[in-house]
Structure 1
Amino acid sequence: MSQKGAFFGFVDTTETEVIDESVRRQILTYNDEIMMVRITATKVGPCGVFHDHPHVQITSVESGVFDVTIDGKTARLKAGDSFYVPSGLWHGAECIEPGVLVDVFTPMRQEFVKG
């Protein structure tokens, strides 16, 4: 089910995509300009590969502990903390304690949408 233009994004009824053995992704809601994505890290270790993208990203740590690296600078973040990634900067995260990250992207990440 597409969440595009949905006023509400319900975690219990939103499809969960398996990214790898330790990372799951849910696209909560979005339009062409902005997207909210919930990332669940179930195991200690890297949360995907380091990467960059043209989107601006702001992320809130909902739970768990993560070492986040942005442009060569690393900080340990816990529930309630957040980070900002400008367009084009190399970044990534390592899960220290399993938890959840809530990402917001602008513009939306077209490559995340199926179909």
Structure 2
Amino acid sequence: MNRIDQPFAFDSDVEWEPAGEGIHRKILTYNAEVMMVRVDFQAGAIGTPHSHPHIQCSLVEAGVFDITIAGRTERLKRGDSFLIPPNAVHGAVAIEAGMLLDVFTPMREDFVGLKP
């Protein structure tokens, strides 16, 4: 369901969708300028290194992750956050099962089928 510009997103109304082996995501609130996404990782799941033109900032809501940004890796736990500049190669490894809250600007059109 396309919820662009909707002021509220209720967790019970948003379905989890696959985002890789052992990884699922929920697209929360968004408009053309910004998008919030919750990402659930099983222990050992790998967010494959990739890049995109969006700025991304993320909060570790739960678990422990090794986060790599532009060749630098740090171990992050609940309450830690990170910032990914546009086009920086980055990835994540879930050391423990966990959850990230990602914010992108502009929105990820590819996440809602507006762009391939």
TM normalised by structure 1 equals: 0.93
- Structure 1 range deviating more: 60-69 or 20-29: 20-29
**Letter paired with 1:114:** G
Taking the TM superposition and a 5 Å limit, the aligned residue runs for 1:58-73 are: 58-73=57-72
Match of 2:75 in 1: 76
Aligned to 1:97: 96
Structure 2 stretches of 5 or more lacking a match?
A: none
Q: CA deviation at 1:9?
A: 1.9
Q: Which residue of 2 aligns with 1:32?
A: 32
Contact 2:21 2:46 in 1 (8 A): no
Conserved in 2, the CA contact under 8 Å of 1:61 and 1:100?
A: yes
Which sections of structure 1, spanning at least 5 residues, go unmatched? Answer: none
How many residues were matched structurally? 114
Structure 1 residues 39-60: Cα deviation after superposition (integer angstroms, max 9, x where no partner): 000232312x100110000000
> Stretches of 4+ moved more than 3 A in 1?
none
Give the secondary-structure state (helix, strand or coil) at the position aligned to 1:50.
strand
* Percent identity of equivalent pairs: 49
Is the contact between residue 16 and residue 25 of structure 1 (CA under 8 Å) also seen in structure 2? Answer: yes
Give the aligned partner of residue 3 of structure 2: 3
**Structure-2-length-normalised TM-score:** 0.92
Q: Considering only aligned residues, what root-mean-square deviation do their CA atoms show, in Å?
A: 1.2
CA distance in 1, matches of 2:54, 2:19: 20
